[in-house]
Chains A and B, each alone.
Chain A
């Protein structure tokens, strides 16, 4: 039975260096701007995997630690959109994250509307099911404002005191004790509802612990991205009506000694995503996953072998419907006059164009305008 389509949003917090993830490895301006350690090389042990499709006469290569992405790209499951980002120039993490996650700009941003783009999708699509939206982690990203969402690192975390003999009494207290209108009344009642629902599926009172998730493949151990993606896979497989899940991956703010940190983060991200993808098996058909960050990083490195905040970045879209193995959008180049403010990869594709196409294509939303009011996307050509 075909499920409703599912979107997974992986947000790389801190501003991931797209020029090291998918690198214009032969571009003379790229070669001139960065020391070898901050580039993707074309020769030797550390050479990056080349993208088979030539784009703008540039030899784009994946970072050598992103071999799993190269495999997914070659398999036709992954599309890339480079030089994408915010239409408004900001190089502040939190300002950029807030703008991206709200997705409201200029005249289209009604004063006082705090909703996020996923929140508006929920309002437009009105998904049913017991748990349509899941934010993996302890905090709810701003993109979910305006929607009900389960916020948890693992499904077990939603079960009230499993095995504790006082749990039934506490459950009653949470349900009744917060009044009709207090600000915690609804969150507490949501917790009780989620606990009842998850608990009945994962935990029989006879066992000491909730039933652990048994993935179809092994996820890499000691990899901080594995657990959150396992939670998403488990939620999909438990058939809880999941439609959108968000996963935050921190640590990409590489102002110093970028080379080692970036390689480690990229290896963790790509290997965990590959495990997730294989774990889904035939359910891949129902899932699209987008990888994004608040901005890219400066073309020229600083004196600490790191890079500062930039603008344009690469976005990754994983999913069989995305007709992968393509680099979409336009590549503006890195010549000084092509850079934004003479410093950063320019933003030539509005990030909303990518998300809007996923919403209308994969998620089968008739019209993305309620999600991104005032924005008319130019189709990038993933779907259709």
Chain B
């Protein structure tokens, strides 16, 4: 019996072999040219893989620079982005709550105001008080959760407007790879701005540095409970996910195959190929004492400093000898030495190289990237373990590989759909509310609030449930309406005084789907305007009506295979 899944696999295989079904027919309608600059479908696809959606500006830039130079510009784009900084400084996000009180007798007044995103760059020490409970420390929980809400609001502004698009794409990749549910409680909400900044700073940098900064990030230390890991017994939560999700991957978890560490291939030569529960227990011991400076009680009469950053508690550390992946750790070493060596071993492990490179290729290219390609990328990763641009080198090797010309098979995930629609519409994201965040949640996308430490799934099958697809329909309908207040946009301007209504509608549809543009123009004309007016001048329509017609054309174009696949 041919199951549906098998059918899908066959279809994808046929696709890869260049068979007939293709969301981007090579002979796409020429009406796309006005929006996409002078680039063809292949360049357009390339942009869609490396950004949150091709725009006319980016298309023109690619056309000027060529692929290699465009890529280098993105890979070396600084973290700082003046245009984006300006937008983030101007952004306002509503905070609204009723009057309230708490069990300590604190009272607070009702609040409803548009506030700047002022926690995004705050000194972590200034955020510690948002974690305090007790007399004189009362506030509505909306104040405690505010820092993470600001990061969520900013994430859409960044995705749509950042010049360094590839850095944003990779920042989201690392958010899923090193997932933290910012909404867990006030410890994660208040430390999330710093965490977001850490991932962005190293998104194209060195993996060992990134791994180390994540290990010391209060958000991760709270989320996976290492902040509370005291010898002994240690808390194993972070240690397990460090091995399974952050470095070696579940494919190198060999617990069902070996019970004796000596039996694991490589272990007796000093580097086991994979890990057992025994390694998890030992790694957990290595990270005991890695905690947060949040004023926590350490021992009678002594509290941690209130810095809001990483704090090592030597007396919580288990100092005795350990054996991890076959390597012996001597007892009683200096502060942090055990944990740092674990990170050194893991960041340079071939299993980590394969796991991380496969995930990067899955993100940018295809659900099941060619193993030979992954092996080549892993070589690049391992050869560059000391390089400050290690991750950029892997991305470059992937993007410039012949495999990167494969036809589109990646389904845009809900956040990516929203960002791409807004980019194509040249919308100005203001996000005074994050209604979009709750709408995406109904599609399964919990921006920065995904509960399990796996991060969002990155395969097509996870996103094709009827309800998730139905939310994409809603997104297409509403992303272009004003009532979310998410974005400002005006789709009424004409390409020229003589632009026909047909060309006007096709131009907007083509921003998302060049192949379907002409058909959509006719369809919208028939539904909204009466087909007879299509070849008259668009100028004859009032601005508002023209804007609405363009909006519809874009909504329809968003619900095409050409747009939804990249």
Binding site for B on A (CB under 8 A): 13, 88-95, 114-115, 123, 135, 137-140, 145-146, 148-153, 157-161, 164, 166, 169-170, 173-174, 177-184, 186-188, 190-191, 194-195, 250-251, 253, 255-256, 300-304, 306, 308-309, 341
Q: Does chain A have a CB within 8 A of B477?
A: yes
Q: Does chain A have a CB within 8 A of B5?
A: yes
Smallest beta-carbon distance A65→chain B, Å: 20
Q: A191: which B residues are within 8 A, CB to CB?
A: 466, 469-470
A325 CA / B85 CA spacing, docked (Å): 64
Instruction: Identify 6 residue pairs between A and B in the complex whose beta-carbon atoms are under 8 Å apart, listed by A's number.
Output: A137-B444, A181-B11, A184-B464, A191-B469, A256-B225, A306-B225
Q: Does chain A have a CB within 8 A of B4?
A: yes
CB-contact partner of B552 in A150, A166, A306, under 8 A: A166
A179 CA / B280 CA spacing, docked (Å): 48
A219 CA / B86 CA spacing, docked (Å): 48
Q: A139: which B residues are within 8 A, CB to CB?
A: 444, 457, 462, 465
A157 CA / B555 CA spacing, docked (Å): 19
CB nearest to B453 among chain A residues: A93
**Do A161 and B473 touch across chains, with their CB atoms under 8 A apart?**
yes
A341 CA / B516 CA spacing, docked (Å): 61
Q: A88: which B residues are within 8 A, CB to CB?
A: 256
**Do A158 and B467 touch across chains, with their CB atoms under 8 A apart?**
yes
**Do A188 and B469 touch across chains, with their CB atoms under 8 A apart?**
yes
**Do B236 and A255 touch across chains, with their CB atoms under 8 A apart?**
yes
**Do A174 and B559 touch across chains, with their CB atoms under 8 A apart?**
yes
Stretch of B104-112, B190-198, B226-234, B491-499 on the interface side: B226-234
Q: A177: which B residues are within 8 A, CB to CB?
A: 516, 559-561
**Do B477 and A138 touch across chains, with their CB atoms under 8 A apart?**
no
Q: Does chain A have a CB within 8 A of B262?
A: no
Q: B21: which A residues are within 8 A, CB to CB?
A: 179-182
**Do A184 and B411 touch across chains, with their CB atoms under 8 A apart?**
yes
A92 CA / B243 CA spacing, docked (Å): 10
**Do B250 and A183 touch across chains, with their CB atoms under 8 A apart?**
no
CB-contact partner of A308 in B7, B237, B253, B466, under 8 A: B237
**Do B225 and A153 touch across chains, with their CB atoms under 8 A apart?**
no
**Do B473 and A91 touch across chains, with their CB atoms under 8 A apart?**
no
Q: Does chain A have a CB within 8 A of B240?
A: yes
Which 8 interchain pairs have the tightest Cβ spacing? A151-B465, A138-B444, A152-B467, A304-B228, A303-B230, A187-B464, A255-B237, A191-B466
**Do A303 and B235 touch across chains, with their CB atoms under 8 A apart?**
yes
A88 CA / B254 CA spacing, docked (Å): 11
A283 CA / B560 CA spacing, docked (Å): 43
**Do B250 and A138 touch across chains, with their CB atoms under 8 A apart?**
no
Q: A169: which B residues are within 8 A, CB to CB?
A: 523, 527, 556
A253 CA / B233 CA spacing, docked (Å): 17
Known A92-B240, A250-B452, A309-B236; contact A152-B561, beta-carbon cutoff 8 A? no
**Do A306 and B467 touch across chains, with their CB atoms under 8 A apart?**
no
**Do A89 and B256 touch across chains, with their CB atoms under 8 A apart?**
yes
Q: B234: which A residues are within 8 A, CB to CB?
A: 302-303
**Do B452 and A178 touch across chains, with their CB atoms under 8 A apart?**
no
CB-contact partner of A303 in B224, B231, B462, under 8 A: B231
CB nearest to B524 among chain A residues: A169
Q: Which of A93, A140, A302 has most chain B Cβ within 10 Å? A: A302
CB nearest to A303 among chain B residues: B230
Q: A341: which B residues are within 8 A, CB to CB?
A: 277
Smallest beta-carbon distance A70→chain B, Å: 29
**Do B454 and A148 touch across chains, with their CB atoms under 8 A apart?**
no
**Do B451 and A250 touch across chains, with their CB atoms under 8 A apart?**
yes
CB-contact partner of B466 in A91, A187, A250, A304, under 8 A: A187
Binding site for A on B (CB under 8 A): 1, 3-5, 7-8, 11-12, 14, 20-21, 23, 224-225, 228-237, 240, 244, 250, 253, 255-256, 277, 280, 409, 411, 441-444, 451-452, 454, 457, 460-462, 464-471, 473-474, 477, 516, 523, 527, 552, 555-556, 559-561, 564
A293 CA / B329 CA spacing, docked (Å): 35
**Do B464 and A303 touch across chains, with their CB atoms under 8 A apart?**
no
**Do B465 and A152 touch across chains, with their CB atoms under 8 A apart?**
yes
Q: B442: which A residues are within 8 A, CB to CB?
A: 138, 153, 157
CB-contact partner of B230 in A140, A184, A304, under 8 A: A304
**Do B462 and A256 touch across chains, with their CB atoms under 8 A apart?**
no
**Do A304 and B465 touch across chains, with their CB atoms under 8 A apart?**
no
Smallest beta-carbon distance B237→chain A, Å: 4
**Do A114 and B5 touch across chains, with their CB atoms under 8 A apart?**
yes
Q: A89: which B residues are within 8 A, CB to CB?
A: 255-256, 277
Known contacts A148-B4, A149-B465; 17 further A-B pairs (Cβ under 8 A): A94-B454, A95-B253, A137-B444, A152-B465, A161-B477, A164-B477, A166-B477, A170-B556, A177-B516, A179-B21, A183-B8, A183-B409, A183-B411, A183-B460, A253-B237, A255-B235, A255-B237
Q: B559: which A residues are within 8 A, CB to CB?
A: 170, 173-174, 177
A123 CA / B6 CA spacing, docked (Å): 14
A302 CA / B228 CA spacing, docked (Å): 10
CB-contact partner of B465 in A140, A181, A253, A309, under 8 A: A140
Q: A182: which B residues are within 8 A, CB to CB?
A: 11, 21, 23, 561
A164 CA / B555 CA spacing, docked (Å): 13
Q: Which of B255, B470, B471, B561 has most chain A Cβ within 10 Å? A: B470
Q: A300: which B residues are within 8 A, CB to CB?
A: 233
Q: A186: which B residues are within 8 A, CB to CB?
A: 4, 7
A160 CA / B477 CA spacing, docked (Å): 11
CB nearest to A150 among chain B residues: B466
Q: B230: which A residues are within 8 A, CB to CB?
A: 303-304
Q: A135: which B residues are within 8 A, CB to CB?
A: 465
A195 CA / B411 CA spacing, docked (Å): 22
Smallest beta-carbon distance A74→chain B, Å: 34
A180 CA / B277 CA spacing, docked (Å): 48
Q: A91: which B residues are within 8 A, CB to CB?
A: 240, 255, 277, 280
Q: A152: which B residues are within 8 A, CB to CB?
A: 465-467
A303 CA / B305 CA spacing, docked (Å): 21
**Do B256 and A166 touch across chains, with their CB atoms under 8 A apart?**
no
**Do B11 and A90 touch across chains, with their CB atoms under 8 A apart?**
no
Q: B467: which A residues are within 8 A, CB to CB?
A: 138, 150-153, 157-158
Smallest beta-carbon distance A158→chain B, Å: 6
Smallest beta-carbon distance A110→chain B, Å: 12
Q: A94: which B residues are within 8 A, CB to CB?
A: 244, 250, 452, 454
A166 CA / B452 CA spacing, docked (Å): 37
A190 CA / B474 CA spacing, docked (Å): 17
A161 CA / B20 CA spacing, docked (Å): 32
**Do A303 and B229 touch across chains, with their CB atoms under 8 A apart?**
yes
Smallest beta-carbon distance B473→chain A, Å: 6
Smallest beta-carbon distance A286→chain B, Å: 25
Q: B225: which A residues are within 8 A, CB to CB?
A: 255-256, 304, 306
A135 CA / B228 CA spacing, docked (Å): 36
CB nearest to B527 among chain A residues: A169
**Do A115 and B233 touch across chains, with their CB atoms under 8 A apart?**
no
Smallest beta-carbon distance A242→chain B, Å: 15
Smallest beta-carbon distance B303→chain A, Å: 17
**Do B253 and A92 touch across chains, with their CB atoms under 8 A apart?**
yes
CB-contact partner of B253 in A90, A160, A164, under 8 A: A90
Q: B457: which A residues are within 8 A, CB to CB?
A: 139
Q: A140: which B residues are within 8 A, CB to CB?
A: 461-462, 465
A183 CA / B20 CA spacing, docked (Å): 13
**Do B235 and A190 touch across chains, with their CB atoms under 8 A apart?**
no
**Do A146 and B5 touch across chains, with their CB atoms under 8 A apart?**
yes
A106 CA / B58 CA spacing, docked (Å): 51
**Do A157 and B470 touch across chains, with their CB atoms under 8 A apart?**
yes
**Do B466 and A166 touch across chains, with their CB atoms under 8 A apart?**
no
**Do B473 and A170 touch across chains, with their CB atoms under 8 A apart?**
yes
A114 CA / B411 CA spacing, docked (Å): 20
**Do B464 and A309 touch across chains, with their CB atoms under 8 A apart?**
no
Q: A304: which B residues are within 8 A, CB to CB?
A: 225, 228-230, 235
Q: B462: which A residues are within 8 A, CB to CB?
A: 139-140
A195 CA / B469 CA spacing, docked (Å): 12
Q: A95: which B residues are within 8 A, CB to CB?
A: 244, 250, 253
**Do A179 and B4 touch across chains, with their CB atoms under 8 A apart?**
no
Q: A179: which B residues are within 8 A, CB to CB?
A: 21, 561
